């Protein structure tokens, strides 16, 4: 049975031709929209598509059956297109800057609580260090010998040692007297033969005794007849030498060893118990927000795309989709 769309609308005024949809976003939030209302559908279809026909393609049905089939077709179309138009309605509901094609907000936070406990156990803990390392020095027929032939040479021109003394002693006397006594005096004269150096007495004189007294006053000086006192002069050169050949030398031979008197080298032994404990909380995080034009499109192109989007009439799109799929034009009209 074929029936016009305008007659379908007039035959059943109770049917509600509204198109509600719902969309669940990635955050599980439900968004509900109305693509078009009953009044919008009836008015637009009556004025723009009233002359189109609907056919239930049954040969023995009535007009009422065709109207009911039209309603069933609309309900079926609305059910199958609900998800698509829900996503479209959600996209149209979003608010955005037409010149901005990039906007991200990144937030990160972290917390780390120190509860770690590290325990190292040793039996009867103690730290003991032993070292039996040694340093051995080896020489052939070890001995130490030091020789020194260094010397100091003193040089003077035409060296000679001269000692001069012009010191003098002056003696002062007051009422000085000097006594001289002479007893018996014997004088012997000795001679020697021509062929001998041995003297023999030749004659002897004997004097009598006498006593004389002599008085002396004033002073006299003992002088060494020099000009500058005791003077020592050195000329020429002298050398103090140790009598060796090659200066100060030390010769070492043989061998000796420095040892720490242990058995197994440097050994560190640990025993007992050692505990490391950590506590506290570290908190870190940041917030990063970026937006704008990343440069893939010019601002003019983005604005032109937004204007095209504003021309999109989802009400007319949905109604035209249904009418175009389920109705048709015919040269005859009731």
pLDDT values of the chain reduced to their tens digit, one per residue, 334 residues: 999 999 999 999 999 999 999 999 999 999 999 999 999 999 999 999 999 999 999 989 999 999 999 999 999 999 999 999 999 999 888 876 665 666 677 788 877 776 777 777 766 667 777 666 676 776 666 667 676 667 667 666 666 676 777 777 777 776 666 655 555 666 776 766 667 667 777 677 666 555 555 666 677 666 666 666 666 766 666 666 666 666 666 777 666 666 666 666 666 766 667 777 776 777 777 787 776 655 565 666 655 655 554 445 899 999 999 999 999 998 655 5
Q: What is the pTM of this model?
A: 0.42
pLDDT of res. 226: 64
Which residues have C-beta within 8 Å of that of residue 298, sequence separation ≥ 6? none
Query: Which pLDDT score is estimated for 106?
Result: 78
- Per the structure block, which two tokens stand in for 102? 């990039």
Distance CA 79, CA 85 (A): 10
Distance CA 38, CA 19 (A): 8
Report yes or no: 208 and 184 within 8 Å, Cβ to Cβ: yes
Q: What is the per-residue pLDDT for 57?
A: 94
């Amino acid at each position: 049975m074929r029936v016009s769309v305008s007659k379908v609308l007039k035959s059943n005024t109770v049917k509600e031709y509204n198109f509600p949809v719902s969309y669940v976003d990635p955050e599980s939030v439900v968004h509900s929209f109305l693509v078009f209302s009953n009044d919008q559908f009836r008015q637009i279809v009556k004025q723009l598509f009233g002359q189109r026909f609907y056919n239930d393609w049954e040969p023995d049905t009535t007009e009422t059956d065709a109207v009911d089939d039209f309603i069933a077709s609309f309900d079926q179309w609305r059910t199958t297109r609900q998800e698509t138009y829900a996503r479209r309605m959600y996209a149209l509901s979003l608010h955005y800057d037409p010149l901005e094609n990039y906007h991200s907000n990144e937030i990160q936070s972290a917390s780390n609580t120190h509860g770690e406990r590290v325990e190292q156990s040793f039996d009867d803990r103690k730290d003991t260090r032993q070292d039996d390392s040694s340093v051995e020095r080896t020489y052939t027929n070890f001995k130490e010998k030091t020789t020194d032939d260094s010397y100091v040479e003193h040089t003077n021109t035409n060296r000679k040692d001269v000692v001069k003394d012009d010191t003098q002693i002056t003696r002062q006397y007051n009422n000085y007297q000097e006594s001289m006594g002479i007893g018996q005096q014997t004088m012997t004269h000795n001679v020697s033969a021509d062929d001998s150096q041995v003297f023999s007495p030749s004659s002897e004189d004997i004097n009598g005794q006498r006593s004389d007294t002599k008085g002396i006053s004033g002073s006299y000086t003992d002088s060494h007849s020099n000009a500058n006192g005791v003077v020592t002069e050195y000329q020429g050169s002298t050398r103090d030498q140790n009598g060796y050949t090659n200066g100060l030398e030390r010769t070492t031979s043989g061998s000796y060893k420095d040892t720490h008197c242990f058995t197994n080298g440097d050994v560190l032994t640990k025993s007992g118990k050692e505990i490391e404990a950590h506590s506290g909380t570290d908190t870190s995080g940041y917030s990063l927000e970026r937006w704008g034009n990343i440069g893939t499109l010019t601002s003019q192109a983005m604005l032109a795309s937004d204007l095209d989007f504003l021309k999109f009439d989802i009400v007319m799109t949905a109604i035209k989709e249904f009418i175009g799929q389920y109705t048709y034009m015919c040269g005859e009209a009731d």
